[in-house]
Structure 1
Amino acid sequence: MDSASRNPHKQVDDSELLEMTQQDPVQAKILRQPLEHLASGLAGGALKEMAQEVISGRMGLREAANVSAYAEQALEQSAPLAEKWASMSDSERDALAAEGERRLEDERRQLDSQRRVEAESRSGTKSRHDGRGWSLY
């Protein structure tokens, strides 16, 4: 029995999500968010189970997409979204795409900032460019 089977609440790393997003950690994070939403059960029992299986690492996302019960409920839940998308004008679609790009950029800035803070805390030293404590002598 692997560790994911022993701990159903354990979340696995984003390696599969990174693979699916061409190693983009921001897109992997954004892909994980709807899985976490589905795992709450708001979209039905089959999608809740699927998301929990994927998040825990017991099943890959690609594997889950091939389970007919999961696929059927996903299609059923996404039908209203597909209808809404089809009824949108090109300018409305462009506006949504621009909003998505802004969200990606915001997430990238946040991740970069988080990484800088973590790097500085690991090094235990201040940034060499902070200007404090500098002296010619």
Structure 2
Amino acid sequence: MGNTSKHPHKPVDDSEFLEMTQHDPSQAKILRRSLEHLASGLGGDALKEMAQGVLSGRTGLRDAANVSAYAEQAVEQSAPLAEKWASMSDSERDALAAEGERLFTKEQQRLDDERRADPPNRPVGKARHDGHGWSLY
């Protein structure tokens, strides 16, 4: 499973998650944050291990999703939420869905604002060929 080379693993960047999010950079960041929450132990030991593996670059997200121990813990963690959802009235579900959509839109807007404030292709420091710092002598 995952990368078995002896080279150190490179932490993944958000581009790793773009395929999973229909190439939406905001959703890729949200996916990363979700994995970071799981990596902190929020969803139990198996999901913590999975998230740490994905974030460290040791395994791909698709590969991790196919590990039965991770899937079993994900189902176990989501069961109480599914039970609560099933016990809600239609109006309670609609209100909760609207609140979730509002929070998602707010987070997406915050991430979009963050991305506009810090463009990914902005040069950091001195440009490689800026003409300063070299001489023929």
- Provide the TM-score with structure 1 as the length reference: 0.71
Aligned-pair CA distance for 1:39 = 0.8
Q: Distance in 2 between matches of 1:85 and 1:91?
A: 12
* Cα deviation, residue 116, structure 1: 3.3
Give the aligned residue type for 2:68.
S
The structural deviation recorded for 1:109 is 2.4
Which residue matches 2:71?
A: 71
Match of 1:133 in 2: none
2:126 corresponds to: none
Looking at secondary structure, tell me which structure has more helix per residue.
1
Tell me how far apart the structure 1 counterparts of residues 27 and 115 of structure 2 sit (CA, whole Å).
16
Question: How far 1:19 moved relative to its partner?
Answer: 1.0
Task: After TM superposition, give the deviation of residue 67 of structure 1 in Å.
Answer: 0.8
Distance of 1:118 and 1:105 partners within structure 2: 20
Q: Paired residue for 2:88? A: 88
Unaligned runs of 5+ in 2: 1-5, 124-137
Q: Give the Cα separation in 2 of the matches to 1:115 and 1:35.
A: 20
* Inter-partner Cα distance in structure 2 for 1:43 and 1:115: 29
Do the aligned residues in 2 keep the contact of 1:39 with 1:51 (CA within 8 Å)? yes
For 2:25 and 2:35, the matched residues in 1 are separated by 15
Contact 1:27/1:104, CA 8 A, preserved across alignment: no
Q: Shift in Å at residue 54 of structure 1? A: 1.1
Counterpart in the other structure of 2:14: 14
2:46 partner amino acid: A
| Other structure's SS at 1:59 match | coil
How many residues get paired? 116
Amino acid at match of 1:92: E
Residue number in structure 2 paired with 1:104:
104
Q: In structure 2, what residue type is equivalent to 1:27? A: Q
After superposition, give the CA deviation of every residue in 1:15-61 in whole Å (9 maximum; x if it has no partner): 24221111112222222222111111233221111110111121122
SS in 2 for 1:116: helix
Rounded to whole Å, the distance in 2 between the matches of 1:82 and 1:73 is 14
Check the 8 A contact 2:27/2:108 in 1, yes or no: no
CA distance in 2, matches of 1:43, 1:118: 32
Deviates more, 1:33-42 or 1:10-19: 10-19
Instruction: Work out the CA distance in 2 between the residues paired with 1:109 and 1:34.
Output: 17
What code does the residue aligned with 1:20 have? M
Structure 2 match to 1:134:
none
